[in-house]
Amino acid sequence: MSTHRHIRRRESFDEVAELYDRARPGYPQRLIDDLVALTDLDKRCRVLEIGSGTGQLTVPLAERGLSVVAVELGSSLAEIARRKLAPFEHAEVVVADFDEWVLPEVPFDLVVAATAFHWLDPVRRVQKCAEALHPGGALAIVETHWGVGHGDDLFFAESQSCHAHWDPDPDPSRLPRMRR
């Protein structure tokens, strides 16, 4: 994909921020529980979320009492996230391109990118995430590639145990149909 087209697609979410917020599902509670447990996070921990959108992951992390800095490229998306995060004094949303954002001096315990890592500069993204972390910190990359168009029927069949683990009671109206 050309760089111009990649940038245009990356920025397009902000143009329909309210619709995006209404249509974009949140993350399963089990995923959030496991993320917190696997990274050994507690209320003293600092979390950097890259590409937070309207807060689908940010809000559940803030609800856990974590100190969250969410970096979001789109100002309209960030404004919606700020409204949702208003009750949490330990959460802030920064409007910035993570690739160009100057990291704060205080490092983070967790850097997380939920369905956003692929939008970052592939040459620099891992190194910049590492620079944002204190020694022993964790990088979590959450992706949601699932359903028709993301593999063949064998892949679909074999991936069901993973989906049963992370979201055992999915909304049936959102389930993809296997190809015949």
**Domain of 83: which CATH number?**
3.40.50.150
- Answer whether residue 156 is part of any domain: yes
Cα angle for residues 106, 113, 6 (degrees, 5° grid): 120
Nearest to 89 by CA among 67, 109, 105, 64: 67
Does pLDDT of 40 surpass 50? yes
The verdict on 133 and 46 lying in the same domain is yes
Question: Is residue 34, in this structure, part of any structural domain at all?
Answer: no
pTM as predicted: 0.77
Q: Are residues 75 and 118 in the same domain?
A: yes
What pLDDT is stored for residue 64 in this prediction? 95
- pLDDT of the residue at 129: 92
Quickly list DSSP for 11-72. Answer: HHHHHTHHHHHHHS----HHHHHHHHHHTT--TT-EEEEES-TTTTTHHHHHHTT-EEEEEE
137 & 171 share domain: no
Q: What is the mean pLDDT of the chain?
A: 84
**Total structural domains in the chain?**
2
Give pLDDT tens digits for 148-174: 555 566 766 766 776 676 666 655 555
Q: Do residues 102 and 171 share a domain?
A: no
- pLDDT at residue 180 tops 50: no
Supply the range of the domain harboring residue 176: 145-180
pLDDT band at 179 (very low <50, low <70, confident <90, very high): very low
Residue 33 maps to a domain? no
**Do 117 and 155 belong to one domain?**
no
What's residue 149's pLDDT?
Answer: 53
Q: Are residues 81 and 71 in the same domain?
A: yes
Residues 138 and 156 reside in one and the same domain: no
Higher confidence at residue 175 or residue 127?
A: 127
Residue 177: predicted pLDDT: 47
Residues 154 and 140 in one domain: no
Same domain for 131 and 161: no
